[in-house]
């Protein structure tokens, strides 16, 4: 690299930013500047010129920055694209060992401190943690881009509602059944798509998710279509969380001699959900250390090499699909019971994209990253209500920027390496 080129070429920079402004004018003009109103339109020049000015200023600043020495260093630093898995030394001892039990203790205390509103938001966050963990197995570990993940979520949620209405099953029986049913659907989806690669796979899974949603919308005799279905609340040893229990049951608060509060059911759902999330976290941690988890990652990195080494790719991919799907099913059951109601509009493609954004932002394969990202992406928009309209836009921008800047996510996946065997090797 020649050192003479460190000066900023002002002329080129100005031309660049004017061009960028012109492009912004063409692109944003008809959509932002002219707002349709019936067959007429309203002009909004202020909005348009704000955007154009921002684009021009941004382009100018970026141009200047990337031409300076500092900017070049920055570009160089961030040009290494693939960081892969971070392997720690075999005798690595985490200095933050106490943080996990502490977090768990705090998590169990949350419902008794937080208000009902915060509790409902945190429950939603935990549901997305579950979804993120499920999709993380499929996308992050096995490298299979599944855009129909919301289908399994829907299967779980509708499983609860349908099981309640048609078979009289409650929350506790449906929790395992929904996981199993979702896993079976995962296998059904997995089989045909085994032969497909990245992009085709993504589109087919997307189609699968849409098929499920369309069937739920149109099969009105079974699912009541867009009107949705009621889902039952969980019970605590047969005790219900209602003010007045149905016949033959005792409400929870009467049995324990408490005054009625609608928060009990959320506390209860939260605690079960937390246990399930912890269970899934543990299972996932074990899985990544087992041969099957390592096989997922190996397949993600190089499928052809794996197959020529005799790895059964059918089994490996199917297991990833099924385990991921069953986690999605679990999340669906919790979602249904938390809302008390399900309808098809909760299971659109956007939901899949949101879960994918969680996995992408958190770091593919990284458990910690996914947990953090799930909370950031679901709790933050709830807390900042004014910005809720912009959240889809923010997710989109986030996904593009993350892929350009850090394709493997913010938190890199880490694993502890294997110690070499000591002995007298000659």
Strand blocks (E) in 55-188: 86-88
174-179 long-range CB contacts below 8 Å, 24 or more apart?
A: 174/333, 175/330, 175/333, 178/329, 178/330, 178/332, 178/333, 179/326, 179/327, 179/329, 179/330, 179/333
Nearer to other proteins, 128 or 241 (CB): 128
Nearer to other proteins, 109 or 400 (CB): 400
Instruction: Choose which of 1, 26, 105, 113 interacts with other proteins (CB under 8 A).
Output: 26
Query: Site residues for other proteins, window 46-65 (CB under 8 A)?
Result: 47
Antiparallel, parallel or unpaired: β 341-342 and 229-230 = antiparallel
Does 41 bind other proteins (CB under 8 A)? Our answer is: yes
Min dist CB 380 to other proteins, Å, is 16
Instruction: Choose which of 8, 85, 187, 203 interacts with other proteins (CB under 8 A).
Output: 203
Does 74 bind other proteins (CB under 8 A)? Our answer is: no
CB-side neighbour CA atoms (13 Å) of 275: 5
Min dist CB 150 to other proteins, Å, is 13
Nearer to other proteins, 41 or 256 (CB): 41
Stretches 201-209, 262-270, 316-324, 380-388: which one binds other proteins (CB under 8 A)? Answer: 201-209
User: What Rg value do the Cα atoms of the chain yield, rounded?
Assistant: 25
Does 145 bind other proteins (CB under 8 A)? Our answer is: yes
Does 247 bind other proteins (CB under 8 A)? Our answer is: no
Min dist CB 399 to other proteins, Å, is 3
Does 240 bind other proteins (CB under 8 A)? Our answer is: no
**How far apart are the C-alpha atoms of 26 and 112, rounded to whole Å?**
55
Instruction: Choose which of 8, 29, 60, 382 interacts with other proteins (CB under 8 A).
Output: 29
Instruction: Choose which of 76, 117, 282, 390 interacts with other proteins (CB under 8 A).
Output: 390
**How far apart are the C-alpha atoms of 10 and 331, rounded to whole Å?**
55
Does 386 bind other proteins (CB under 8 A)? Our answer is: no
Does 380 bind other proteins (CB under 8 A)? Our answer is: no
Query: Site residues for other proteins, window 289-308 (CB under 8 A)?
Result: 304
Residue 328 bridge partners (DSSP): none
Residue partners of 20: CB distance under 8 A and separation at least 6: 55, 56, 58, 59
Does 221 bind other proteins (CB under 8 A)? Our answer is: no
78-86 long-range CB contacts below 8 Å, 24 or more apart?
A: 78/405, 81/407, 82/407, 82/408, 83/406, 83/408, 83/412, 84/408, 85/297, 85/365, 85/412, 85/413, 85/414, 85/415, 86/412, 86/413, 86/414, 86/415
Does 311 bind other proteins (CB under 8 A)? Our answer is: no
Contact present, 108 and 271 (Cβ < 8 Å)? yes
Stretches 93-101, 120-128, 260-268, 350-358: which one binds other proteins (CB under 8 A)? Answer: 350-358
Residue partners of 85: CB distance under 8 A and separation at least 6: 297, 365, 412, 413, 414, 415
Instruction: Choose which of 45, 58, 192, 291 interacts with other proteins (CB under 8 A).
Output: 192
**How far apart are the C-alpha atoms of 235 and 228, rounded to whole Å?**
22
Does 229 bind other proteins (CB under 8 A)? Our answer is: no
Nearer to other proteins, 29 or 260 (CB): 29
Residue with tokens 């002995």: 423
Chain contacts with other proteins (rule: CB under 8 A): 23, 26-27, 29-32, 34-36, 38-41, 47, 81-82, 139, 143, 145, 147, 192-193, 195-200, 202-204, 206-208, 210-211, 214-215, 218, 304, 349-350, 353, 356-357, 360, 389-390, 392-393, 395-400, 402-404, 407
């Amino acid at each position: 690299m020649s050192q003479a080129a460190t000066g900023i070429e002002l002329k080129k920079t100005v031309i660049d930013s004017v061009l960028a402004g012109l492009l912004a004018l063409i692109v944003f003009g008809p959509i932002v500047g002219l707002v349709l109103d019936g067959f007429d339109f309203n002009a909004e020049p202020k909005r348009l010129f704000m955007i154009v000015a921002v684009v021009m200023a941004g382009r100018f600043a970026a141009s200047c920055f990337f031409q300076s020495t500092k900017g070049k260093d920055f570009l160089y630093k961030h040009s290494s694209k693939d960081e892969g898995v971070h392997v720690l030394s075999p005798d690595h001892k985490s200095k933050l060992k106490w943080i996990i039990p502490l977090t768990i203790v705090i998590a169990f205390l949350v419902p008794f401190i937080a208000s009902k509103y915060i509790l409902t938001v945190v429950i939603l966050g935990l549901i997305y943690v579950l979804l993120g963990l499920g999709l993380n197995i499929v996308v992050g570990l096995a490298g299979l881009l599944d855009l129909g993940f919301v289908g399994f979520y829907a299967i779980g949620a509708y499983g609860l509602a349908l099981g309640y209405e048609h078979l009289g099953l409650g929350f506790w029986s449906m929790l395992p059944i929904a996981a199993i049913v979702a896993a079976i659907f995962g296998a059904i989806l997995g089989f045909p798509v085994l032969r497909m690669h990245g992009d085709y796979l993504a589109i087919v899974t997307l189609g699968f998710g849409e098929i499920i949603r369309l069937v739920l919308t149109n099969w009105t005799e079974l699912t009541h279509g867009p009107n949705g279905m009621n889902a039952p609340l969980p019970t605590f040893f047969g005790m219900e969380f209602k003010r007045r229990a149905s016949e033959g049951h005792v409400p929870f608060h009467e049995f324990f001699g408490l005054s009625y509060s609608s928060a009990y059911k959320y506390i209860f759902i939260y605690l079960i959900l937390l246990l399930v999330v912890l269970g899934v976290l543990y299972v996932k941690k074990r899985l990544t250390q087992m041969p099957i988890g390592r096989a997922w990652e190996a397949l993600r990195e190089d499928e052809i090499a794996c197959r020529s080494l005799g790895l059964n790719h059918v089994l490996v991919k199917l297991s990833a699909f099924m385990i991921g799907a069953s986690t999605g099913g679990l999340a669906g059951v919790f979602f249904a019971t938390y809302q008390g109601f399900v309808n098809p509009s909760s299971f659109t493609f956007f939901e899949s994209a949101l879960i994918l954004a969680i996995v992408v932002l958190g770091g593919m394969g990284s458990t910690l990253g996914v947990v953090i990202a799930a909370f950031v992406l679901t709790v933050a928009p709830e807390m900042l209500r004014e910005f809720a309209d912009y959240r889809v836009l923010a997710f989109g921008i986030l996904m593009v920027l993350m892929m350009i800047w850090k394709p493997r996510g913010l938190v890199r996946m880490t694993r502890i390496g294997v110690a070499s065997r000591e002995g007298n090797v000659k």
